[in-house]
Structure 1
Amino acid sequence: MTSSQPTGLGSGHGFGSGHGFGFGGPAPAPTAARIMDYLSGGRATHPLDERILAELTAAAPGAARAARAQHGFRRLVVARLASRGVRQFLDLGCGLSDPETGRGRPDVHEVAQGVDRSCRFAYVDDDVTAPARARALRGCACAYKHGSGCDSDSGYGSVAVLAADPMSSGILLHPQVASVLDLRRPVAVLMVGLTARIPHQRSAANLVADLAAQTPPGSYLALSQPVSTDAGVREDVSAIVSAATGRAWRVRPPAAVEALLTGLDVRSPGWGDVAAWGAIREPWLPRAETAYAEYGALART
């Protein structure tokens, strides 16, 4: 299937690669998107990345499984909602594509457009590696330019890649998001892995509540992030990622993540390890891996 080319939207940042698809020059500092990519099977091409991965997997042996589950959860939520009539999707903190994309596994917008070709999709991230690689892997043929974009008329719904703060409560009203999504119609907001980037519980809860309040009737919000029941694991992993990226990052206990969707209508299969969605198929796991998982749910707003 050939889907529409993503619109090359921007906010004035310049983007390097450091991911092996690149533009030359030294690798940028590690980012959360790169770390998640490597954990889920991407190629760690720099010694610093390899060191961080070794530290993470030592502190949380379940980290790689959780990263793979996060990718699978995003795709399965989109497939379910598209099959139930949702035609608009906003992926906040989209990160890098699943490492299996391009090797027979469809990208997230392709999952939606495989159900209905009119589906519209907006990817948003301010991680320095994510928008550049998203445009490269998601087929955008135009160069990055501040305040301008490219679009194609392929007969499929629009797909956009926007470099902007995904943690802004006003992101739904961003003019470039509004140019792709019609907020008079239901929209699915994907906050997959995003709240780990918001260390303060009240700030994370306020963002979820603000976004839910702005969506029209019939909309959905999917949320997940890494959790651990072990306080030592939470502290160690949070410290490793925060120090490596220079940005706050927090592993939460499961109850704190569940509290973020308070007041929303959580749908089946409810709260829990997103692997329960069939996001990954690993029937047996070492006991140590159960101390760290990707925890989340899908809710009607």
Structure 2
Amino acid sequence: MTLTERDREAQVTEQAWLPRGVDAHRPTEARVHDYALGGKDNYAIDRAYAHKLMSLVPGIGRPVVDNSRFARRAIRHLRDAGIRQFLEIGCGLPRPGDVHEVAGPDAVVVYVDYDPVAVSHFQAVLPSTGPARAIRADATRPAEVLSHPVVGEVIDFAEPVGLLTTYFFHLVTPEDDPARILREFREPLASGSHLVLSHPTLDFLAEEEIAAVREVFAELRERVTVRGRAEVAALFDGFDLLDPGVVEAPRWRPDRPYRMSAGRLLAGVGRKA
């Protein structure tokens, strides 16, 4: 699907007042995600990309909604298990149901993203001295995150931490080694810490659909790596998977009736012994 005349006009208007450093010439994961959730922090190029993807495989945008609902259920589980501090890797743009809203006012939360726009949006909506903070750091370099002054100030690694990596690792390439990244994040975590992880998969599509979707993925600013169930399960190395294991996100401890779609998201929660 190509840009409509309305979107073309919007694109010209948007580019006239873009903040410095914002690229509206290529769609970005965070802004497409925002659009799929009904947000306003996106541009014509992101909306056109989303429609193009959904025209190829109806329902492929569903994992964005599934991810948001899974994350809320998982955070509530961690909260009920007594966890009061959370580190969200690849937070993206603010959205309803963010960690600090679900975990409660006494929870300590650090949002981490490399995108300065995402971080600045979070910093604009979070009190500067509150228990929820947002920092810019490269999560493919865990030491950069863990040594950040804000993390050192508010996170007590002697106590359990909820490490949240929902809808993030598909943006981590094999060269960046997801297993290494998770190992380096896991090592300083106290016993009882939890990993919450979700990851889109194309396992349920036909080969010709997969090829077409991969072509569209190439238009994103970020490089997308889609993994299968076995690869996603392997990311939980060092954590004990909680029931029901790695499953389609709507099937992880559902709290409402759900329906499956052509787009699938794998999800799971693990606990560090």
State TM-score, norm by structure 2: 0.82
Query: Residue 159 in 1 paired to residue 128 in 2?
Result: no
Q: Does 1:276 align with 2:273?
A: no
Q: Which residue matches 1:241? A: 217
Offset of residue 120 of structure 1: 0.5
Q: What residue in structure 1 maps to residue 231 of structure 2? A: 256
Give 1:141-152 correspondences, 5 Å limit.
150-152=128-130
2:66 paired residue number? 69
Give the % identical residues: 28
Query: 2: distance between equivalents of 1:299 and 1:201?
Result: 24
Residue matched to 2:8: none
Counterpart-to-counterpart distance in 2, 1:124 and 1:298: 19
1:1-301 alignment to 2 at 5 Å? 24-25=17-18, 28-29=23-24, 30-43=27-40, 46-98=43-95, 101=96, 106-113=97-104, 117-136=105-124, 138-140=125-127, 150-152=128-130, 158-170=131-143, 171-200=145-174, 203-229=177-203, 230=205, 231-245=207-221, 247-277=222-252, 283-285=258-260, 289-290=261-262, 292-301=263-272
Following superposition, the deviation at residue 238 of structure 1 comes to: 4.1
- CA deviations over 1:248-287 (Å, ceiling 9, x no partner): 11222222212211342000221111112366856445xx
Counterparts in 2 of 1:236 and 1:125: CA distance versus 1, 3 Å: farther
Contact 2:140 2:176 in 1 (8 A): no
Q: 1: CA distance between counterparts of 2:17 and 2:193?
A: 42
- How far residue 222 of structure 1 moved from its aligned partner, in angstroms, is 0.8
Measure the CA separation in 2 of the matches of 1:244 and 1:118: 37
Any idea what the Cα deviations from partners look like across 1:153-175, whole Å, max 9, x if unmatched? xxxxx110111112222122322
Q: 1:261 to 1:284 in 2, by over 3 A?
A: closer
Query: Which contiguous aligned blocks of 4+ residues in structure 1 show a shift greater than 6 angstroms?
Result: none
Q: Contact 1:219 / 1:300 at 8 angstroms: preserved in 2?
A: yes
The answer on whether the counterparts of 2:31 and 2:42 sit within 8 Å (CA) in structure 1 is no
Q: Unaligned regions of 5+ residues in structure 1, if any?
A: 1-17, 141-149, 153-157
Provide structure 2 residue ranges, at least 5 long, that are not aligned to the other structure.
1-10
Asked if the contact 2:66/2:250 (under 8 Å) is kept, the reply is yes
Which SS does the other structure have where 1:25 is aligned? coil
Aligned to 2:169, what secondary structure does the other structure show? helix
Return the alpha-carbon distance in structure 2 between the equivalents of residues 216 and 277 of structure 1: 24
Letter in 2 for 1:82: R
Single out whichever of 183-192 and 273-282 deviates more from structure 2: 273-282
Separation in structure 2 between the aligned mates of residue 179 and residue 129 of structure 1, nearest angstrom: 23
> Is the deviation greater in 232-241 or in 221-230?
232-241
User: Which residue identity lines up with residue 235 of structure 2 in the other structure?
Assistant: L
Contact kept, 8 Å, 2:32 with 2:47, in 1: the verdict is no
Paired with 1:278 and 1:42, the residues of 2 have a C-alpha distance of: 26
CA contact (8 A) 2:196 2:270 kept: yes
